[in-house]
Chain A
Amino acid sequence: MSVPPPGSLTQLERAAAFDPALPDAYEPLFVGERRVALDEVLTRYPTRMAALLPALWMVQEARGWVSEAAMAEVAEVLHVTPAYVKGVVTFYTMYHQRPVGRHFVQVCTTSPCNVCGAEDVVRAFLTHTGSGEIGATSPDGRFTVIEVECLGACGFATPIMIDEDVIEGVTAAQVPEIIARYP
């Protein structure tokens, strides 16, 4: 794996992610305000387990990815086992199980977009971000680019997602300009 990207991660988490000898460096997430927010989420469901997806989203918002240490904390808070949480995390593709670049780029390449040239868009992103390879992070830690299955925006080929933003109708030619918007 490449050097941990800056941004989105705390210093300690980055250290813990790459040095297994430092597991104690983990700082609990569900304290203070975030704990209050989770408690509010819990009121929406009849079971604690049902708050698992929302809780994982909170982790990812805060830390940029879902580390094993975070899974263990979520497990404790929701009264399930860490193994259970991991089974769920690995099922859903949107939870990052390792740190990603400061900006996470997802390009739809499923057939409807594929026939409209989506693969050219992917190639343009790989080239212009410098990440070079699907799933790899660019050396400056700025971008991770992946192919994604149908984003539900097929009429606006090629749709991409950068972080929370959906950009429709992207062509390979527009890629450099789009990248420039995400420092």
Chain B
Amino acid sequence: MGYPHPPHPRETVLLSQYFGDPEARSLAGWRQRGGYRALEQALAMEPTAVTTIVKDSGLRGRGGAGFPTGTKWSFMKPGDGKAHYLCCNADESEPGTFKDREIMRWTPHALVEGCAIAAYAIGAETVYIYIRGEFTEPLQRMTEAVREAYAAGLLGPGAMGGKARIDVRIHKGAGAYICGEETALMNSIEGRRGNPRIKPPFPATAGLFGMPTTINNVETLAAVPHIITQGAAWYKAMCLSSPKSPGTKLFSVCGNVRRPGNYEVVLGFPFEEFLYDLCGGPPAGRKFKAIIPGGASVPIQTMDEVRATKMDYEGFVAGGSMLGSGGVICIDDAQCMVKQIGRLARFFAHESCAQCTQCREGTSWTTKIVERIEAGQGTPDDLDTLLEIADNMTGKTICVLSDSCAVPVVSGIQKFRDEFDAHIQGHRCPFRVAAAAA
């Protein structure tokens, strides 16, 4: 994958081929590397033909939900006299995930090209790329790439010499995880609080500024040019396990692991080999205690649970978790799970937009209880209370942030109950005691 270390031979570098290659950043450099041929090819086709190729490729959304991209595009009905929008979700804030950041840092034109193709396919005149405010370098790289693309006539009226007008705008976020939720993102672009909206109406009917809108993740859109140039069949054939999950995927690996970073593998790759061969396994002298395979919102797993997992949408679900955003968080045996579960809950409490009762109050209450247990002040009934609050917080709110907070708590208590019990019975954190002794 290139940065910060050279690609592992077992990786399949498609999106990450030029990570670490500063020359790929400029328009000229990108063109030398085959850039914008896909856009040219797409513009020569009927928009619906572009959508059909993407549909046939089997590409699924890389933002977390895994919705088939071509199908999503086909919900758009251009020519209805309305404005149409494409939003590119570059809010990347799911703890454990840092792949979109690298795409934008190293290959900004890949994203511009993907956006332009998608916009053409769905009939969107304007694309907003919503980049989280903390991404200062990606913001700068993307701004420069867009500027170059306008200057070269790739964007704007008569984009690339074609008939279509495609405008790409960069919108800088200002610190809110929830703006990664698609309708919250739209509110944020509109200059509102980043509150998720109740659905229906769905974005394809009434999205940004009340107009038909499609939203895609950075990685999803960056994959599109490859599909256009190399064909749906080629993409669909890249598959190691479930035929419903073709293509390559960037996995962000972090936490207690020897070689953290982004790894691009064909979906269906064996997870254990991934963790040990590619990522180097746990730090010296340690063991993996817990793996959160798809960003902070998916169930925590033990190493035993993930051993046989195939890395695709179906594989992670079969293993009892989810692929999510592809952020693999490794936690070794020196860590206190109670503390980390409390920390995750605190994250969600901090990020709750505050609309829904269960989420606003439940995330904070959960955090307080887990942190109290960690501090040695827990009681045995706290765990039942936590599970009941989690149940209250699941499946009842406008968006799934509430559910996401319940997920680590429920899976954590299920799988690391002994650690909770040790805190409650011992009235202190055994890991803190061990650390103090060391």
- Residues of chain A touching chain B, judged by Cβ–Cβ distance below 8 Å, are 44-47, 49-54, 56-57, 78, 80, 87-88, 91-95, 106, 109-116, 148-157, 161, 164-166
Contact = CB atoms under 8 A, between A and B. Distances in A.
B191 A51 contact: yes
B182 interface: no
A88 B335 CA distance: 37
7 contacts: A57-B172, A78-B191, A95-B175, A110-B347, A149-B347, A150-B95, A165-B136
Given A112-B327, A114-B339, 8 more contacts: A50-B189, A92-B174, A95-B174, A106-B134, A110-B343, A111-B329, A152-B101, A156-B4
Given A115-B256, A150-B177, A156-B260, A161 B191 contact: no
Contact of B98 (A50, A109, A154): A154
Contacts of A151: 134
Nearest to A155: B260
Contacts of B388: none
Contacts of B133: 57, 92, 94
A87 B353 CA distance: 12
Contacts of B351: 149
The bracket for how many chain B residues form the interface is 35 or more
B190 A50 contact: yes
Contacts, number: 149
A47 B350 CA distance: 30
Nearest to A41: B169
Contacts of B83: 46
B93 interface: yes
A166 B140 CA distance: 13
A108 B90 CA distance: 19
A149 B93 CA distance: 9
B255 A154 contact: yes
Contacts of B335: 115
B190 A112 contact: no
Contacts of B253: 155
A91 B260 contact: no
A155 B98 contact: yes
A52 B191 contact: yes
Nearest to B209: A46
Contact of B255 (A116, A165, A166): A116
Interface string B179-196: 000000000111111100
Given A149-B177, A164-B136, A111 B193 contact: no
B124 interface: no
Interface string B155-180: 00000000000010101111111000
